[in-house]
Amino acid sequence: MTRPVWPAAQKRASRLSDNSDAGPGTGMETRTMLRYPALVTSLLLSLGAAGSACGQANRNATPPERIEVPKVEKEGVWQPQDGGTQLPLWPANVPLAVPDSGAHPEYTGNGSPLVAARKWHWATYVTRPTMTIYRPKGRNTGAAMLVIPGGGFYAVATDLEGTEICDWVTRQGMTCAMLKYRTPQFWPRTDGKQQRPKVLLGLEDAQRAISLLRERSSSYGIDPHRIGAIGFSAGAYLVINMSNTVERTYALTDAADRQSPRPDFAIVAYTARVLDNSKGRNNLDLQPWVDISPKAPPTLIIHAMNDNVDDVRQPMAYALALNDAGVPVDLRLYARGGHAFGMRPTADPITRQWPGQVRQWLENNGVLRPQKK
């Protein structure tokens, strides 16, 4: 039985092969903004050198130094280590489609390279998905956030884009639910072009999680109309899907599935797989499998210009599509940061500033009350 192989370099190579025409812009970002003067987007550039233009900053920025570490993996079900309560998403008697690995025992391990000089960890071969609930620290605001980690649909980055995000969320007075969804799921290719799986297991799990939070809102002390989602990389793609469909992608299981599966607000961090990159560098068309709904919730998008895994045109294309549909959208671009930085502070301003940007955006949209100064 083959064990998982999750070195970041291999993941990055796989993702880059799906974005073979991706690369730094040459002022295209500025031209796009001029073409769409009504774009409801705040463009925040945290530049390494004052006065750098978008395209120039992207050309000059270099990814942070890669520090590879040995990868240790073992059979075992991921368990929260920091006070969270892990709950099954589905009743035990409900049969679920298994990931592409089949009925393989779950594995956990660490990834490489280091992020902010620290290891990060993952879970994979997930056949029974869960959500782990973290209660607010201090005053309960009544808001809640579903955290969907990335991992290229091969694994779930449980700490870097999961529990560490929940730690910040709960410090804002919100309930946090971290999703461990079914992986791995491979994306097929036709004539060399990537295709979306007909059934996206992670989307089923994410919709189920939102519905469970709404159904249990009174017991969790949650306002059922202030339940949002934040996703990273592959998890960001799932948030995009959740935002733009009200239809459930699986058959009703119980009373929880009569609740809406759409989040009330959405945060998308270094998203992937939305841009149709087969049409050239200056194209900003979406993939044919990406639907945009005028009923999508208010959305905040975070991305680094020098992301060498998911090109900056990915979030730009999605932001423009939301704006064209009349959906309130904020796009925050930073010159540096690379990919998969989570909330770990580094020398790149994005890693230290974007959590505050999220807090302000949540206040602006009525999810949280402004903090007293």
DSSP code per residue over 267-295: EEES--S-B-GGG-TT--PBPTT----TT
pLDDT of residue 76: 97
Would the pLDDT of 14 be above 90? no
* Average pLDDT over every residue of 36-41: 32
pLDDT tens for 122-153 read 999 999 999 999 999 999 999 999 999 999 99
Helices 201-215/234-243 angle, 10° precision: 60
Structure tokens at 153: 């649909």
pLDDT bin (cut points 50, 70, 90) of residue 64 is low
The whole-chain average pLDDT of the chain stands at: 84
**Backbone torsions φ then ψ of 9, nearest 5 degrees:** -65, -40
| 180 and 123 Cβ atoms separated by less than 8 Å | yes
Question: 36-45, 75-84, 252-261, 322-331 — which is least confidently predicted?
Answer: 36-45
DSSP class per residue in 41-93: -------SSTT--HHHHHHH--PPPP------EEE-----SSS-EEEESS-TT
| The pLDDT of residue 57 | 40
Sorting pLDDT into bands at 50, 70 and 90, what band is 282?
Answer: confident
d(CA 298, CA 318): 13
Average pLDDT for residues 262-282, to the nearest whole number? 92
Q: What confidence score (pLDDT) does residue 47 get?
A: 26
Whether the Cβ atoms of residue 301 and residue 329 lie closer than 8 Å to each other: yes
Token pair of 260 as six digits: 């809406």
Q: For residue 149, what is the enclosing H or E element?
A: none
Stronger pLDDT, 185 or 371, i.e. the higher one: 185
The Cα–Cα gap between 16 and 10 comes to: 10
What pLDDT score does 191 carry? 82
Q: Which residue has the tokens 């791995």?
A: 184
In DSSP terms, 86 is beta-bridged to 132
Separation of first and last alpha carbons in the chain = 57
Instruction: Taking residues 276-296, report their average pLDDT.
Output: 91
For residue 231, the tally of other CB atoms under 10 A from its CB is: 31
> 3-state class of 120 per DSSP?
coil
**pLDDT interval class at 373 (50, 70, 90):** low
Among 3.10.310.30, 3.20.20.370, 3.40.50.1820, 3.40.50.450, name the CATH number for the domain at 8-80+91-364: 3.40.50.1820
Annotated domain spans of the chain: 8-80+91-364
- Which token pair is 290? 């990406």
Q: Judge whether residue 287 has pLDDT over 90.
A: yes
